[in-house]
Every structure is written in structure tokens, then in C-alpha cells.
Amino acid sequence: MENIRISTHKSELDRELIYNFLHNQARWCKGIPKEIVEKSIQHSLCFGDYIDSRQIGFARMVTDYATFGNLVDVFVVEELRGKGISSVILNAVSNHPELQGLRRITLATSDKQKLYAKFGFTELARPEIFMEKFDPMVYS
């Protein structure tokens, strides 16, 4: 789809679309409060996918812009999935000038490993050194 435009300008984001998707459809954060979505956007490098002025996808990179990034909240609106739009946004993320030279970029996915592998993501080389503090009920 060559008419997709990617923007990192937060003023262009359709915050209602993002909130509705994350709150109602995303397996990883279902029920997330609107104020938390707003705060997450405010403190991240955000990528919006657009056809004309309509937002059709989203991704956020939580980063210090020097050493580390965590790619989160990647989605494409349901009616346009399977058309390569995720690859367009992941290409934009991979090539963003402020994300070059990071030592580590992480992400969590339960079902899109093949997609992310095309962009250099692999299983953790040393999973034994990683830990997490996880509260799946935090938005309940």
C-alpha cells in the first residue's frame, strides 16, 4: 500500500482510535484507562499510520534515545489487516534516525514472531538475565 503515510507528530494522532483499540481490543492491555493511554503517548515516540487523514495504525517506542527501546502497542485497524501495513510501520520504526545505535530494543508478542523476525528481532539470547514485574490485573 504505497499511499500510507507515517508520522511521529503527536498532534496528528487519533487518540480516540488509539484508546478504543487498546481499551477494547488489545489482548495485552484490555481495560486500560484513558488517562493511562494519554500518559503513555506523552512519554513515548509514537508512530501513526495514515491513509489521507485517517489513522489506520499505531506503534510506540519507549526509549531513552541512547541505549534502549521497548516497542509496544503495535496495531492496525481490523479491516485493513493482512495488507502489509504492519511492515510499513515497522520499517519506519527500524529506520527512524533517533533510534539508530540503540544497544537493545525489546518487544513482547504472543503471535507475531515471524513478522518481527523480518525486522531483526530474535528470541532473547540470554533469557536467564531478564526479569519482569508483571501485574496483569492493574487495569481491573
If one counts the domains in the chain, the total is 1
CATH number at residue 83: 3.40.630.30
> Rounded distance, CA 56 to CA 61, Å?
18
Do the domain assignments include residue 129? Answer: no
Predicted TM-score (pTM) of this structure:
0.93
Q: What is the pLDDT of residues 82-122, one digit of tens each?
A: 999 999 999 999 999 999 999 999 999 988 889 999 999 99
Query: Is 107:121 a contact under the CB 8 Å cutoff?
Result: yes
Any domain includes 135: no
Residues of the domain holding 30: 4-121
Other C-beta atoms lying within 10 Å of the C-beta of residue 120? 9
Residue range 24-46, pLDDT digits in tens? 999 999 999 999 999 999 999 99
Instruction: Give the per-residue pLDDT at 110.
Output: 87
Question: Tens digit of pLDDT for each residue in 79-92?
Answer: 999 999 999 999 99
Q: Which of 122, 113, 73, 79 is nearest to 93 (CA)?
A: 73
Q: Is residue 127 part of a domain?
A: no
In a domain, 51, yes or no: yes
